[in-house]
Amino acid sequence: MLDCAIIGGGPAGLTAGLYTTRGGLKNVSLFEMGVIGGQITKSSEIENYPGFFDANKTGLDFMDAWEKQCFHFGLKHERKKVLSVEKTGEHFTISVEGGETYEALTVITCTGSTPKRAGFEGEDDFFGRGVSTCATCDGFFYKNKPVTVLGGGDTALEEAFFLSNICSDVYVVHRRDEFRAAPPTLDRAIRKSNIHLITDSVIDEAYGGVMGLDGVKIKNTKTDTITDMQNSGLFVFVGHNVNNSILKDPQGNFICDMSDRGQVIVNLSMHTSVKGLFCAGDLRIEAPKQVVSAAGDGSIAGLQVISYLQELA
């Protein structure tokens, strides 16, 4: 029986592993199906994690030290894809691909989220080299420069507003003639003189060279006119896929309370509505979707698991 099963080896899961094992738990396993380190390993740089400031290091370099430190105190690594988590009496059963199962007294789910891609030409080629899905992470790289934003919902307009305080101009491209964002959010964007709203339009192509993105071609869907916008930053906000499938029972119902956006509802202790089940990082409600906050969540969840097990004993 595991003291704790941690699912997902990004910043939240690794930090939870560090805190649980360094806090004295002997039998903790981290299930990670891919590269240890999570989403940030796909980034070419990270500038907003305090204490780490090296422009020549990638997200993968940054997470390398985490892996060494977080496994140092006895955390075990199961390189497996978890299919489901089920509460069986007082403990949990974790089923993994291949048919094996594990039993655990507590579970911390840290499976993160994945920003959706819009699907235009060049998007994948320039992802992380001009095409971004995070204004907080990458906006500063375009200080006093014009950028393009794709999307028409609340997130797109809130992120456009954030960028408008850093960048010279923000061109928001939306495929419909009306924005889906809440009226106050839209009003705020309209009132900001350096935000320019471009409706009935899509990104036709993102283009550039070895140094990264040089610009985007915007197509008006009513007239088919193409406008060449030579902005080296393009922010795509067309939604996030929350990696929550492991929390569904065989009937397809979630085993704990979820928001209508599919995020796990937690309290300030990262405890879900199910006793012994915790959640940390991008998967939880109102996650800021930053490495530093995912790590903070992981530490809280790790400490809370220790207290929970002490009370059970």
Ligand X SMILES: Cc1cc2nc3c(=O)[nH]c(=O)nc-3n(C[C@H](O)[C@H](O)[C@H](O)COP(=O)(O)OP(=O)(O)OC[C@H]3O[C@@H](n4cnc5c(N)ncnc54)[C@H](O)[C@@H]3O)c2cc1C
The residues of the shown chain that bind ligand X, judged by CB under 6 A, are: 7-13, 31-34, 38-40, 42-43, 46, 48, 81-82, 110-112, 128, 134, 137, 243, 246, 281-282, 289-292, 294
At 73, the amino acid letter reads F
Closer by beta carbon to ligand X, 201 or else 232: 232
Q: Of 308, 302, 298, 290, which is closest to residue 43 (Cα–Cα)?
A: 290
Closer by beta carbon to ligand X, 198 or else 292: 292
Active site residue 70: no
Q: Of 95, 67, 113, which is closest to residue 5 (Cα–Cα)?
A: 95
How many C-beta neighbours within 10 Å does residue 270 have? 28
Active site residue 187: no
Could you tell me if 257 and 272 are in contact, meaning their C-beta atoms sit under 8 angstroms apart?
yes
* Dist CA 251 CA 299 (whole Å): 33
Phi, psi of 138 (to 5 degrees): -115, -5
Token representation of residue 312:
């059970």
Token representation of residue 171:
């061109």
Smallest distance, ligand X to C-beta of residue 172, A? 21
Smallest distance, ligand X to C-beta of residue 273, A? 19
Smallest distance, ligand X to C-beta of residue 133, A? 6
Closer by beta carbon to ligand X, 196 or else 248: 248
Closer by beta carbon to ligand X, 108 or else 195: 108
Closer by beta carbon to ligand X, 113 or else 201: 113
Closer by beta carbon to ligand X, 231 or else 244: 244
Active site residue 124: no
Smallest distance, ligand X to C-beta of residue 277, A? 15
* Dist CA 67 CA 239 (whole Å): 29
Smallest distance, ligand X to C-beta of residue 9, A? 5
Could you tell me if 236 and 123 are in contact, meaning their C-beta atoms sit under 8 angstroms apart?
yes
Phi, psi of 309 (to 5 degrees): -70, -35
Q: Of 198, 140, 193, 200, which is closest to residue 169 (Cα–Cα)?
A: 193
Please identify which of the residues 138, 204, 282, 297 carries the catalytic annotation.
138
Smallest distance, ligand X to C-beta of residue 270, A? 11
Please identify which of the residues 61, 125, 134, 169 carries the catalytic annotation.
134
Could you tell me if 20 and 306 are in contact, meaning their C-beta atoms sit under 8 angstroms apart?
yes
Could you tell me if 167 and 145 are in contact, meaning their C-beta atoms sit under 8 angstroms apart?
yes
* Dist CA 149 CA 239 (whole Å): 13
Please identify which of the residues 110, 137, 256, 279 carries the catalytic annotation.
137
Active site residues: 134, 137-138
